Structure 1
Amino acid sequence: MTNGGLFAGTGAFYARFRPGYPKVFFDDVIRRFGLDGSGRLLDLGCGTGQLTIPLAGHGTEAVGMDPEPDMLTEAAQHAAAGKVGNVTWVRGGSADLSRQPGRFRLVTMGRSFHWMDREQVLRTLADTVEDRGGLVIADDGCLARSTTPWQHIIEGCSTSS
């Protein structure tokens, strides 16, 4: 059992039923951010590793961070099964972001940003992401028809490469 958080005990279900991301998405991220096998990657709110594992081979190190131990256990099992060995799994939430030493070429958040203190996270990431790096917020919602304040802010950001 876990710490009794909202997602306690759901790791196996996430790993089995949570939709992944299409290859074209990963190809675009790799191209846009020049992921050439160098640089560090951080997946904040990584869940069972749907972003972490496919991107890990495009950096020297990937860090998957999630507050739910059950999610990290599933993620580590899937990484091992796929022979992905350059991932460090870290228990923590967005409030623990400042504990991650160093800088990252790319930070990803898949279906997790809405759970975070968004202003605090973006402030912290401003000092964490390399100058030529970036942030990817992947979600199922349509940002073109944003409805929440944080979506309006993202909508105002440039998406050009």
Structure 2
Amino acid sequence: MTSSSTTSPTSPAVPDFSGEVAAYYAEYRRGYPPAVLDALVRTFALDAHPGVGDVALDLGCGTGQLALPLAARVRTVIGMDPEPEMLRQARSAAGRAGVRNALWLLGTDADVPGLAGLLPGDRPLGVTVIGNALHWMRPDELFGGLSPLTRPGGGVAVIANGAPVWAQDTDWSQALRAALEEHFGRPITASCGTDTAERERYAASLTAAGFADVRETVITYEDALTPDQLLGTLYSAIPAPSLPGPADRPAFAARLRAALPAPPTAAGYPEHVRVSLLTGRR
């Protein structure tokens, strides 16, 4: 897996999201509201007709939070991820949901040009979606490689599915970040591709690669995280080598819980979730 200068809070040069991290990802990562899927269909005129409909690529698909609902809006969805355990979780989730038009490929952004030899047609892709994963990739090279694979009117959607739990403008998020900085001994500044400067850089890369009508669509909603959901979401973002081991995790969780204020509501810690779709069309 390639990476840029922006990393997760404890990322090594090559992140490892295997084992328990993939399990936390499958259980705790937030999904995408229907309005996101509606916006993708509207922006790229996606077609789900059998035999002639669109192929969608979910690059850095994780455990399928975006690929699985997208499967209902296209003929075929391809989920690609460099971590076998992520793909195993995604395949299992697809089976439970009865999704039969999803393919799962092991690969990184560097493998995208190779899809040209696997998929039918000169420009086989209706859309490529990248959800909270582009900060691990090389956008300039990636978008340049996607351009010749994308049909006219199709394109790319870079989706930021809300700010990380340590980077939100709330008292509980600030307390969590302070506790993490104390534990890891360094500032925690990563935004995982959600801050304005990164979004502007991605937009410029899309334009330079020949994608037109580059624009941002924002969808917001209110949610809440229970203490267990907050910790599970955090664990899903910590690469496996940096995640405290099973024997140390109860003490780690206890320190984090002690640092957090009491949940202000019965539902837990409130979140104002801002989902950003940065899109460009061919």
TM range (shorter): 0.7 to 0.9
- Structure 1: distance between partners of 2:131 and 2:194: 17
| Number of equivalences | 158
RMSD: 2.5
Q: Paired residue for 1:110? A: 131
CA contact (8 A) 1:48 1:71 kept: yes
Could you tell me how far 1:64 is from its partner in structure 2?
0.3
Q: Paired residue for 1:61? A: 76
Say if 2:58 is the partner of 1:7: no
Q: Paired residue for 1:49? A: 64
- Structure 2: distance between partners of 1:155 and 1:106: 13
TM-score by length of 1: 0.87
CA contact (8 A) 1:65 1:90 kept: yes
Structure 1 residues 154, 146: closer, same or farther in 2, change over 3 A?
Answer: farther
Of the two structures, which has the highest relative contact order with CA contacts closer than 8 Å and spacing of 6 or more?
A: 2
Q: Secondary structure at the match of 1:47?
A: coil
Q: Secondary structure at the match of 1:16?
A: helix
CA distances 1:82-128 after superposition (whole Å, capped 9, x unpaired): 10011110001111111213320010000011110111101101111
Structure 1 residues 50, 144: closer, same or farther in 2, change over 3 A?
Answer: closer
Please say which of residues 63-72 and 144-153 is displaced more in the overlay. 144-153
Given residue 72 of structure 2, which amino acid in structure 1 is its aligned partner?
G
Please say which of residues 38-47 and 136-145 is displaced more in the overlay. 136-145
Could you tell me how far 1:158 is from its partner in structure 2?
2.6
TM-score by length of 2: 0.51
The runs of 5 or more residues in structure 2 that have no matched partner are: 1-13, 164-190, 208-212, 217-280
Please say which of residues 4-13 and 69-78 is displaced more in the overlay. 4-13
Structure with higher Rg: it is 2
Q: Paired residue for 1:153? A: 204
Q: Secondary structure at the match of 2:32?
A: coil
CA distances 1:48-75 after superposition (whole Å, capped 9, x unpaired): 1111110112221110000000100010
CA contact (8 A) 1:40 1:106 kept: yes
CA contact (8 A) 1:144 1:155 kept: no
The runs of 5 or more residues in structure 1 that have no matched partner are: none
Find 2:103's aligned residue among 88, 99, 119: 88
